[in-house]
Structure 1
Amino acid sequence: MAKKSFIELSARERAKALLDEQSFRELLDPFAQMMSPWLPKQNIVPQADDGVVVAKGTLQQKPVVIISIEGNFQGGSLGEVGGAKIAGALELAVEDNLKGIPTAAILLLETGGVRLQEANLGLAAIAEIQAAIVALRQYQPVIGVIAGSVGCFGGMSIAAALCSYLIMTQEGRLGLNGPQVIEQEAGVQEYDSKDRPFIWSITGGQQRFASGLVDAYVEDDCQQIQQQVLQYLIQGQPELHRSSNYDFYLNHLQAVDTTVQATPASSLDFISRRTSMNMDVHAVKTSTRGQNWFKALTADFVQIKDAVESVWIADGQISGKTVRVIAVVPHQHNLYPRAQSGEVGLLEGWTLAKVVDDVIQADLDRDHKRAILCIVDVPSQAYGRREELFGIHQALAGAVDSYARARLAGHPIISLLVGKSMSGAFLAHGYQANRIIALKDTGVMVHAMGKESAARVTLRTVDELEKLAANIPPMAYDIESYATLGLLSDLLTVVSPEQPTIEDIASVQNAFLHALNDIQVIGSTGLEHRLHGENRQASKKVRELLREQWYAD
């Protein structure tokens, strides 16, 4: 009778329930009227706080910022304003620590990920949230709590997987891809979105705790959750973040028998010996753009062989500048068939984490940190039952972790978009870059989700989505609309985007050198330069207002 349900509380009430009495101070509360500028254009009623509560306070006298997402508004999805509130608050917590104020962060995650009505702005904001988590983790724990039935999905599941500690209840769910999206992409036999016991057996709190993908499994009780959060605050940073433990996951994942369908028990014992390859047909049109550009730009480089053949790595020089070039490419005999067409899957995510961290470690004591060039042609993350069971969100978090740490360590990271740059795959491979260059071509696109899946989730037709995208830039799939968001450093016109000519190669090399020089002249390792686009004014204003209120008495 003494228990008080955490799940039944609103986002604001949850934040208050965790903080010391009288210490709750909300920033950018509903009276600030910072609402989405994009929802009214689609005849959707906005919310005065955009579904995100940011509060400063103390927990047992320890300074914390609590960020709580309201699952009852747009399914807890993140658009421009809500995403900027979260990223901005985490960035200010980093500043606090640099000033000697040990501010930790607690994320109360009730979210479906990107708000598709603001698709590319939501995706960009989530990349910035992920960057800020990795930056703050250097100083104080970032603690995530997933309690309610909305769960934590999409790009925010990757953010959750970057947390120092993760707490879940039985009712919570955690996974990269929502059940409807997996069913749309992989078929109902792979994932039945209407089978609720099946879904919870894969992504529910008990399963995630048993398989080591979360740190604590607690009851739906405010006091118990508060005590667990406090325990982690006292404990401080873990010796090794889960998202940096690529050796463990690569060793285990490469020993899985993928000739049989995965079951919930598989993720509890995925060290069984592999016997043969699964040659299931995965009907996705395969792009060779990434491969072609990789070969063209690394013709005289040293090719680095790795156990995973779907990740290509080469070391060399571009006009005297030392660089490691990395691409994710199709591999028809991939151990995990859902990733055989160039998707970023379990092995790809953890391998990216490893090969980027190798650069960090090799250059640790060097004044000059070599550059990293990401060639991006990724149709999506891998969709499948096995991927969800074995924690594809955690694998992609591993890649984000290493890329973000490399950037913070002073490695200039430049991404070259030569094909599709979609959803969680782009978050894992490319979106943590200091600068992003794209080819101006219809085959190059950035988006949070494929059109058919986006239509299903938003209860619209593909035609309706395309009509809306014509007037709402963040919803558009074309690279010219994406460029208006201010996220690109260069948009290049080339002769042959499929098979680069000598002139095309020279053009990209020049753009790479210009971006590298720009990074070095400015000297920043952050992503703040992305806030100046004509269609990102709300992102900038949110941060300005947050800063004013953060330091107010």
Structure 2
Amino acid sequence: MENVETMMGRGRDAIDMIVDTDSFKEGTVGAKTFDDPEFGPGAVVGTAKLDGQDVTLIVSDAQAFNEKFPVVYAGIIGMEEGYKMAQAVYASLAADADKPKEQKRTLVLIVDTPGNGPGKVEEIFGMNKATGAYQLALAEARLAGHPIVSMVIGRAISGAFLCHGLQGSNILSLDSSFGTMIHVMPLTSISRIIKKDLETLQELSKGNPVFAAGPQFFYALGGVEEQIDKVEGMRPAIIEHVKQIRAAVAAGEDDKLGPWGRGTLGAERNGRVVRPKVINLMNQEFAAVAEKYAPSR
């Protein structure tokens, strides 16, 4: 089926497509209120109901522009956006701190970002610390039992996807018919770095998902749990994955979620066949010398 529509730049629209009708309350997560509209405008945060349950929404708004930082536009995650997103996660953790794992609220990340804000001012002020704080916050929430579902609706690129998406328990994506784009680095940049001509890399990308860009290739690598072929499918898919995540947490199978689990999934799909061999070899080599470096008792 071929789609002509795109969800790129429609992060706010996606909220209403996913959550219960009229349930989204922007700017409030637990006890925290985000009341400064000029702080991190590219990040939309708030609380909603999904299938009757409280969820935290963290959304890329590609229509916003941060006037203080000229490089932060079109969904780019800048320093303020990173801190705002991290604060929303920690507010979620605090709100459910006394609840058992099975009652921890879900975090839904709506992802449409072309990258981080690379401006000199942002780098000096600490953009990397901000985005790193957000990534750490998500990892802490996932390990605390919060289901985190990343829903890619447009672009999920480079370091911005690293902080806003890859720490999710499960990652879903609209399929390539929507123009959805997922990659770590464009082939032009890879070409400059590894000194391979672009034509060679383009040929490699046809059969090797490591070099390719797009949700279908990340699916083969295990980086995307499910591809969705219609916008109406986002809501039921997220609800179903929340159930799967909660079941895995309840069964003590947390290692099947998040980045580590996706590595295993990539091997099962024959997209990352070398990874388990390398891990096994490293384990063997470590075991051979472990006694030498083991702490004395």
Q: 1:542 to 1:456 in 2, by over 3 A?
A: closer
Within 5 Å, give how 1:71-82 maps onto structure 2: none
- Does 1:539 find its partner at 2:279? no
Q: Based on CA coordinates, which of the two structures has the bigger radius of gyration?
A: 1
> Which TM-score applies when normalising by structure 2?
0.79
Change (3 A) 1:365 1:345: same
Counterparts of 1:301-380 in structure 2 under 5 Å?
301-305=23-27, 306=34, 307=36, 308-330=40-62, 331-367=64-100, 368-380=103-115
For the structure 1 residues 547 and 452, does the alpha-carbon distance in structure 2 shift closer, same or farther, using more than 3 Å as the test? closer
2:238 aligned with 1:512, yes or no? yes
Contact residue 489 and residue 515 of structure 1 kept, 8 A: no
The 3 A distance-change label for structure 1 pair 383 and 302 is same
Q: Deviations over 1:182-202 (max 9, x none)?
A: xxxxxxxxxxxxxxxxxxxxx
Aligned to 2:14: 293
Aligned to 1:426: 161
Alpha-carbon contact 2:41-2:65 (below 8 Å) kept:
no
Give me the whole-angstrom Cα distance separating, in 2, the residues matched to 1:300 and 1:545: 53
- Compute the displacement of 1:434 (Å): 0.8
Which residue identity is paired with 1:434? S
- The residue that corresponds to 1:481 in the other structure is 217
User: Cα distance 1:439–1:320, how it changes in 2: closer, same or farther (>3 A)?
Assistant: same
Q: Secondary structure at the match of 2:71?
A: helix
**1:398 aligned to 2:141?**
no
Please report how far the alpha carbon of residue 466 of structure 1 lies from its aligned counterpart in structure 2 after TM superposition: 2.0
Give the SS at the match of 1:337.
coil
Deviation at 1:351, TM superposition (A): 1.2
Q: Distance in 2 between matches of 1:466 and 1:313?
A: 38
Question: Is 1:388 aligned to residue 123 of structure 2?
Answer: yes
Change (3 A) 1:297 1:334: farther
- Whether the aligned pair in 1 keeps the contact of 2:220 and 2:271 (CA below 8 Å) is yes
| Structure 1 residues 464 and 538: CA distance shift in structure 2, 3 A | closer
The aligned residue for residue 409 of structure 1 is 144
Cα distance in 1, alignment partners of residues 199 and 22 from structure 2: 46
Cα distance per residue 1:210-251 (max 9 Å; x no partner): xxxxxxxxxxxxxxxxxxxxxxxxxxxxxxxxxxxxxxxxxx
- Give the match for residue 254 of structure 2: 525
Q: Is the 8 A contact 2:42 2:76 kept in 1?
A: no
For residues 292 and 388 of structure 1, the distance between their equivalents in structure 2, rounded to whole angstroms, comes to 31
CA offsets, 1:314-343, max 9 Å, x none?
312222232111112131243211112211
Identify which of structures 1 and 2 has the higher relative contact order when contacts are C-alpha pairs closer than 8 Å and 6+ apart. Answer: 2
In the TM superposition, residue 403 of structure 1 has moved relative to its aligned partner by 0.3
| Count of aligned pairs between the two proteins | 258
Q: Which amino acid in structure 2 is aligned with residue 540 of structure 1?
A: P
Task: Normalising by structure 1, report the TM-score.
Answer: 0.44
Q: Give the match for residue 466 of structure 1.
A: 202
Paired residue secondary structure (1:380): coil
- Helix, strand or coil for the counterpart of 1:361? helix
How far apart in 2 are the matches of 1:312 and 1:461? Answer: 40
2: CA distance between counterparts of 1:384 and 1:293? 29
Q: Which residue of 2 aligns with 1:6?
A: none
Q: Residue type matched to 1:290 in 2?
A: G
Counterpart-to-counterpart distance in 2, 1:327 and 1:452: 29
SS of corresponding position for 1:317: strand
The alignment-based identity, stated in percent, is: 27
